[in-house]
Amino acid sequence: MESVREQFEALGPYMLAAAEGGREELRELVDPRLRDIVDRLSPADLVSARSVVSMSYSAGMRVETPITLIPVRDSDGQLLGTVVLRKPAASMAVLGAMAASGDLRHFERMQQVAKAGRRPAAVLFADLESSSPLARRLSTASYFALGRRMTRAAEGCVIDAGGLVGRHVGDGVVAFFLAESAGSETAAARSCIEAARSIKDTMTDVAARSELAPEELLMRFGLHWGATLYVGQITSRGRAEVTALGDEVNEAARIEACATGGRALTSKPLLERLDAEDAATLELDPDHITYTPLAELPTATEKARRDAPAIAVCEV
């Protein structure tokens, strides 16, 4: 209502000038919560097109919205109505650049989580192994170019698999595959595993383009299921991103840290979301898989042994 009141403050003078019955007519037409504004409006006759700035709210932020008002008159000059054109605050050059580099499918998925809430989802953590030696060996410009190629390739795999790209962490990627978006928990789990495999495969091409050997771009993968994740969009004046809160997010990070050697470790809770058809598509047999508790892996990190020792995992 605060947003509506601010917009009515901007447009109300023109509405009042166009109302044949004057102030009383406008008072009856508007929401009762706006009538106090009607009482203090001064009519503004719209002779020609005019641009005004109205305040509105987007993702909880107060933003300026440029509006152009265009009067429409009959042959006798009588006002028939007013066309109200709401325009984005960004220029067409900025919008064009965003649309050209972004993926509309991902933007739409981000809008679906604009309101944060509990959303069951598969979680994917992927990170470049032994990145520090590589960063020291390459020039800063070369390492930056490598990071950009890796990010674009990994995010493309996530988006193509139907996932949501989360916050960037170092040289890796975090992604979420929501059951509500995928259609079911088994579809979300399958998409998560497919994305991990796709990222692993595409790193071979990234290595070639960066004049590196394939073994120099080994990615660690940690895949987990979050039954009660709290997922939502965080929008600020600088950027918009999707994030999730829940113990399973931290546990996925612990699983990923243990997946040295370019492996993809998947938790038992995620694999057992797969139905028979999706498991067969992935060439997996969840009913006959042997799991290992994270703490018993030879590659288990100190944090994994401390925070998630009992989580059962296997390689996919």
Total Cβ atoms within 10 A of residue 87: 11
Quick one: 105 and 227 in the same domain?
Answer: yes
Domain final residue, candidates 69, 89, 109: 89
Average pLDDT of the chain, as a whole number? 90
Q: How many helices (H) and strands (E) does the chain have?
A: 13, 13
Total domains, the chain: 2
Which pLDDT score is estimated for 57?
A: 65
Quick one: 244 and 123 in the same domain?
Answer: yes
Quick one: 255 and 211 in the same domain?
Answer: yes
Does 158 map to a domain? yes
Tens digit of pLDDT for each residue in 30-84? 999 999 999 999 998 888 898 888 776 665 667 777 889 999 989 998 888 889 8
Closest Cα to residue 95, out of 83, 106, 87?
Answer: 87
Quick one: 205 and 57 in the same domain?
Answer: no
- Between residues 135 and 122, which one has the greater pLDDT? 122
C-alpha 58: how far from chain center: 15
Tens digit of pLDDT for each residue in 224-242? 999 999 999 988 767 788 9
CB 225 within 8 A of CB 248: yes
Can you tell me the distance from the alpha carbon of 45 to that of 219, in angstroms, rounded to the nearest whole number?
A: 65
Q: Which residues contact 136 (CB under 8 A, 6 or more apart)?
A: none
- Amino acid in position 83: V
Domain final residue, candidates 89, 108, 123: 89
CA distance between the termini of the chain = 51
Does 275 map to a domain? yes
Does 95 map to a domain? no
Closest Cα to residue 126, out of 6, 206, 20, 182?
Answer: 206
Quick one: 120 and 8 in the same domain?
Answer: no
Quick one: 131 and 274 in the same domain?
Answer: yes
- Between residues 239 and 264, which one has the greater pLDDT? 264
Tens digit of pLDDT for each residue in 142-163? 999 999 999 999 999 999 999 9
C-alpha 271: how far from chain center: 24
Whole domain around residue 307: which residue ranges?
100-315
Domain final residue, candidates 38, 67, 89: 89
Quick one: 260 and 183 in the same domain?
Answer: yes
Helices (DSSP H) in 172-267: which residue ranges? 179-182, 185-209, 247-258
Quick one: 267 and 226 in the same domain?
Answer: yes
Quick one: 112 and 249 in the same domain?
Answer: yes
Predicted structure pTM score: 0.76
Sequence-distant contacts of 305-312: CB under 8 A, at least 24 apart: 307/250, 307/251, 307/254, 308/250, 308/251, 308/254, 308/255, 311/224, 311/251, 311/254, 311/255, 311/267, 311/268, 312/267, 312/268
Q: Which residues contact 250 (CB under 8 A, 6 or more apart)?
A: 307, 308
Does 140 map to a domain? yes
